[in-house]
Structure 1
């Protein structure tokens, strides 16, 4: 087989497996069988002479080679999208809104890479509260939003994107950093940076601590996960938060440990139920899914 031979199907299997964390998830997304995905991945590894995935705790974790290859494939798949719509040269606009943590820690780089590959598209990107995301979609002021708040509203469609487990974040020299899993009883007497009381997870965490007879010392509270993490980084104890998207990969100055019992966090694409999703919104959602690898704390979700 020639080394310069390329298979779009193999590349699709790679990107879908990175995004979903398993060949089963990739198969559902692409409408193929699990064995077909496995064969494509195996064929690609053989052709490249590289290991692209390693199995860890029942999930497939992409290697550095897989992540680098996936990034190089962005232009290819955006170009394929452009071929599908090559007869329409009018500039398309996407009106996007997201809360600060999603905007700054996650979406900015994806908006930039999407626009570089799609010069004929214009994006208006607003940053607001989770409530403003919902009202903006319902008022037809935005085409697409991202939110971590589950709200049932008439006319609102929340499309599942990520599921994240709760983690405990601290400095690497913190005494609890020696543990692989942090439990509520471990927080007894510990200094904690808490999310403000408007966050539903704050009450859940307090209940979990109280149920085991423990008592933590809240030294500060803040409205965003990013601010809580930065306070921890500055030496103010620890924080129990969602890792996605606030915690970046390979942050050497933080220790991130799984917290049990799990307080699940979900991230959704927010769209209107009263009007069709535009082609550019669908393309951007696809771009976001395919450029977001899973890790040990969060996994991709697909719409039912």
Structure 2
């Protein structure tokens, strides 16, 4: 019938393989095809849809927004094929998940619980590590999925943006600075400050901002996580400058968060392998997080 939409599974398989591997050679190896066969499938799909799906960037193919959207819509198809091709007897799928303490201890545990309640046939193994170790575990195939707040690019690892946030000041509700809508670096001059420990790259960023503004706060304590820094601020010990995600969701009842006017920005990423397909259970958990992460002050989805 004229005008009827038709679909080609080989084209969709080529799209997904190229999305997840990044090169036609890796996609071809994954599907057991030639590179020219991959290129022909992509060209045919682009011609049928009337859209550009990939752009060349320094020898690597970068998916366009249209390709990303189409690939996401194909998830149910490939998950259905996995169920058809999989074992007849149900098996328990395991997600090896890793994250630093700020994300793991309060934020992820709640989402893990609701995810497993909705998917009782799944199992999650959560490892709590430093941000650097999160990247390393995925790189070494010891974890399927990581959540990290550092932009640390390594070979074999793919970072997918999840949230972005402006830097925030946290302080008790009765603090003098709480009356302001935005805190500028000069407002912190001579103020008691709770800083992140020096192993954090954000510590050096903050010190540079303060130095450029000739603002010299009095550092009264250090903390290794945003949650600990905010907890110290809540006692009245001082002000702290942190990434508000996800701590703002758990501390907004007893602590005030105000935007800190500076070039400091934070991004939270999903960390997956760039050398193999992302497991269906990892994709399902990513969708669960995107769907169920509530709106929060000073942070938004990407």
Alpha-carbon contact 1:81-1:283 (below 8 Å) kept: no
Paired residue secondary structure (2:120): coil
Q: Structure 1 residues 199, 242: closer, same or farther in 2, change over 3 A?
A: same
* Structure 1 portions without partners, runs of 5+: 1-26, 32-78
Task: Choose between structure 1 and 2 for higher RCO, CA contacts under 8 A separated by at least 6 residues.
Answer: 1
After TM superposition, give the deviation of residue 212 of structure 1 in Å: 1.9
User: Under a length normalisation based on structure 2, what TM-score does the superposition of the two structures give?
Assistant: 0.71
Distance 2:118 2:80 in 1: 13
Aligned-residue CA RMSD in angstroms?
2.4
The answer for the alignment partner of 1:268 in structure 2 is 269
After TM superposition, give the deviation of residue 95 of structure 1 in Å: 0.5
Alpha-carbon contact 2:157-2:273 (below 8 Å) kept: yes
The answer for the alignment partner of 2:221 in structure 1 is 220
Counting matched residue pairs gives 229
After TM superposition, give the deviation of residue 91 of structure 1 in Å: 1.3
What are the superposed Cα offsets for residues 27-51 of structure 1, whole Å, 9 maximum, x if unpaired? 99866xxxxxxxxxxxxxxxxxxxx
Distance 2:81 2:260 in 1: 45
Alpha-carbon contact 2:245-2:299 (below 8 Å) kept: yes
After TM superposition, give the deviation of residue 296 of structure 1 in Å: 3.5
Alpha-carbon contact 1:170-1:256 (below 8 Å) kept: yes
Q: Counterparts of 1:1-304 in structure 2 under 5 Å? A: 87=84, 88=86, 89-248=90-249, 251-301=252-302
Q: Structure 1 residues 192, 151: closer, same or farther in 2, change over 3 A?
A: same
Distance 2:67 2:239 in 1: 38
Paired residue secondary structure (1:194): strand
Alpha-carbon contact 1:92-1:120 (below 8 Å) kept: yes
Alpha-carbon contact 1:92-1:280 (below 8 Å) kept: yes
Paired residue secondary structure (2:123): strand
* Structure 2 portions without partners, runs of 5+: 1-65, 71-75
What are the superposed Cα offsets for residues 247-294 of structure 1, whole Å, 9 maximum, x if unpaired? 225722111101101410000011111111011111111101111133
Distance 1:115 1:231 in 2: 33
Q: Structure 1 residues 249, 176: closer, same or farther in 2, change over 3 A?
A: same
Alpha-carbon contact 1:97-1:142 (below 8 Å) kept: yes
User: Under a length normalisation based on structure 1, what TM-score does the superposition of the two structures give?
Assistant: 0.70
Alpha-carbon contact 2:146-2:270 (below 8 Å) kept: yes
Alpha-carbon contact 2:249-2:296 (below 8 Å) kept: no
What are the superposed Cα offsets for residues 201-241 of structure 1, whole Å, 9 maximum, x if unpaired? 11121121122222100000111111101101122111000
After TM superposition, give the deviation of residue 82 of structure 1 in Å: 8.3
